[in-house]
Amino acid sequence: MKQQARAIPVLMYHHVSPSPGMITVKPEHFAEQMAYLASAGYRTIGAVQLAAFLRGEEMPERSFVITFDDGYLDNWVHAHPVLQRHGFTALCFLVSNWPGDGNVRPNAANAPAHALPALLDHHAGERAIEEGRADDTILRWSEIDAMRHAGTFEFHSHTHTHVRWDQKTASADEKRQRLSEDLKTSRATLNARLGQVSDHLCWPQGYYDEDYREVALDAGFSHFYTCHPGTNSRGQEASNEARGSIRRLEVRDRPASWLRSRMWVHSRPLVSRAYLSVKR
C-alpha cells in the first residue's frame, strides 16, 4: 500500500537569478535543488490538491508545493526551464497591476546566456517598479500565458498593487475599503487575463490581521499563504488555529543538501514543530 503524506512542505521562492541580492537563489542552486527533489521521488501538487489535503483528503508521500511571489521575469528566464525539465509545477502569486504586454523574451532553455534579458537585483527591481518600469523586472502577460500552457506555473493573486494598506491609511475603515478595492481589482484583472481566478491569496510581505482576513474572505479568498515557517498537516483546515493560513519555508541560496534536510524535517508534523520550537 502506498504511503500517504502526513504533512506537505510549501517552498517559498522569489528570484532565481545570477544577480545577487536578497530573496534570490542562484540558477545553479535552484537547478541542483530541483534535480535532488526529482531524483528523491518528490512530486509537486497544485493549489486544488493542496486545498483538498488541508480539508483531509490523502496525498501521496513526498508531495510538496513550490511557490514564487511577485511574478519576476527571472521566473520565466531561469525557473521555468528547470521546472519543465523535471515535470514540476509551481504556484506564482502575481501582483496583477505589474505585468505588461509585449513579446515573449528568451529564456535559458531557448537562448545562450549572452542573449538572455538583463535581470535586475531585488532592490533595483523595486526602484524600476516605483518608476513605472515594471517591464524591466516583471513577467509579461505573454510569458505568463506560455508558462501556463507549458504547465510549469499556476497563477494566483498577490493583490493588485502589493500595498500594505495598514501602513497607508488613517483608519481601520479606510484600510478595509482600500484593501477590498485592491482585492476586487486583482480578481477582475486575473479573470480577464487568465479566464479564471482562484480562492488562493498570498499576503504582501506576509502581513495580515483580522481586518485583512475578513476583507479577503468577503472578496472570495479562503486560502492564505503566509511567511510563517513550518509545514501543513492533513486536515488542518478544520483547526481554529490554522484558519486557512498556509505556512511556507523560505528557500535559501544553498546547495541541495540544505534543502534535503529541511524537506525531511517539514514532511513530519511533530518533528517540524519541535525543530521550529528549538529555533525560536
pLDDT tens-digit readout, 125-149: 999 999 999 999 999 999 999 999 9
The domain spanning residue 116 has which CATH number?
3.20.20.370
* Residue 18, in any domain of the structure: yes
Our CA angle for 225, 228, 231, nearest 5°, is 80
Mean pLDDT of 95-115: 97
Domain count, the chain: 1
For 238-263, b/e burial (b = at least 16 CB within 10 A) is eeeebebbbbbbebebeebeebeebb
* Residue 109, in any domain of the structure: yes
pLDDT tens-digit readout, 30-45: 999 999 999 999 999 9
Residue 205 to residue 245: CA distance in whole angstroms: 14
* Residue 89, in any domain of the structure: yes
Assign 237 a pLDDT band (cuts: 50, 70, 90): confident
Instruction: Give the domain range for residue 198.
Output: 7-279
* Residue 274, in any domain of the structure: yes
Residue 72 to residue 135: CA distance in whole angstroms: 9
Residue 84 to residue 99: CA distance in whole angstroms: 22
Where would I find the H helices in the chain? 27-39, 47-55, 73-74, 80-86, 122-130, 141-150, 165-168, 172-194, 210-219, 256-266, 269-279
Residue 19 to residue 126: CA distance in whole angstroms: 14
* Residue 59, in any domain of the structure: yes
* Residue 2, in any domain of the structure: no
- Residues near 217 by Cβ (< 8 Å), separated by ≥ 6? none
State the CB neighbour count (10 A cutoff) for residue 128. Answer: 16
* Residue 1, in any domain of the structure: no
pLDDT of 241 > 60? The answer is no
What's the pLDDT at 1? 57
Residue 120 to residue 72: CA distance in whole angstroms: 10
